[in-house]
Structures are given as structure tokens and as C-alpha cells.
Amino acid sequence: MMEQEQPDDAAESSAVLSFVPLITLQHRPDFLKAASARRQGTASFLLQARNRADDQHLARIGFTASKKIGNAVLRNRAKRRMRAAVHQVLTSLARPGWDYVLVARPNATVSRSFTDLLADLTQAIASVHRDRA
């Protein structure tokens, strides 16, 4: 039997600290609270974000795709694409104590190129966290 290499504990702990853990929103009141807070529209989706102002050091994320998107296949595809974008972008840009909800747009979330989807998410996060006067 071959021995598996164990990762260096110091390198593993520094990598963990640079990312904010993400938890999925599941309860309707959390989605409604996010809907009444900050929003930023992009060509791919609408981003809703709110500062929970609690002591939890994690970000929560939710995904919404209504029947306006299309049938179940298109709604699931839209949510899968948004989930993939979140895992690539939001894990490093999310702020602890914030809730984020991505709302799919008809004919855009599914058909837009994935690189454009990533760019839209990066721009939307920066806009939501920009200080408001």
C-alpha cells in the first residue's frame, strides 16, 4: 500500500483563512430580508445583499429562478450556473455577516457566456460593498 501525503498544516490553515465560509439560505424570511436591502442588477442576474449585523463569521448565499426563466430544466441550469460562479468568485469576495441572493434573469442567465457571468458577479459584489454616502 502506498502512503498518501498529508498537507502541510500551516499552508492549509492560511488557505482556509482567506475564504469566507458560505452557507445556503433556505428560509423564505431570509430571502425577503435580502430583497429589501441593497441590490445590483447586471446583464446576467440581480444580486441582492444585506448586512445581517450579527456575530456569525460566515456569508450566506441564496439562488432564485422563477418560472419566468422557463421550464424546470432551464431553471435548474440557471441555478447551477450561478452556483458555479459563486464558488469561483464569491468565496474570496464575500464579507462575513452578509446574505447574498442571486436572482436569475430570463434569457440571460442561461445563455450568457460563463466568463461574462463571472465578470458580472465580480462587478456586482464590488458595487454592493461600495460605501454609500
Contact between residue 90 and residue 100 where contact means Cβ atoms under 8 Å apart: yes
**What ranges do the domains of the chain cover?**
20-127
pLDDT of residue 14: 38
Q: Can you name the residues that pair with 41 across neighbouring β-strands?
A: 46
Residue 90: how many other CB atoms lie within 10 Å = 23
SS3 43: coil
What cell numbers appear for 25 in the block? 439560505
d(C-alpha 33, C-alpha 98), whole Å: 11
Q: Give 76's contacts (C-beta < 8 A, 6+ positions apart).
A: 65
| pLDDT tens per residue, range 6-57 | 444 444 433 434 566 778 899 999 999 999 999 999 999 999 999 988 877 8
Which CATH fold topology does 20-127 show?
Ribosomal Protein S5; domain 2 (3.30.230)
Taking the model in full, what pTM does it have? 0.80
- φ and ψ at 117, to 5 degrees? -60, -45
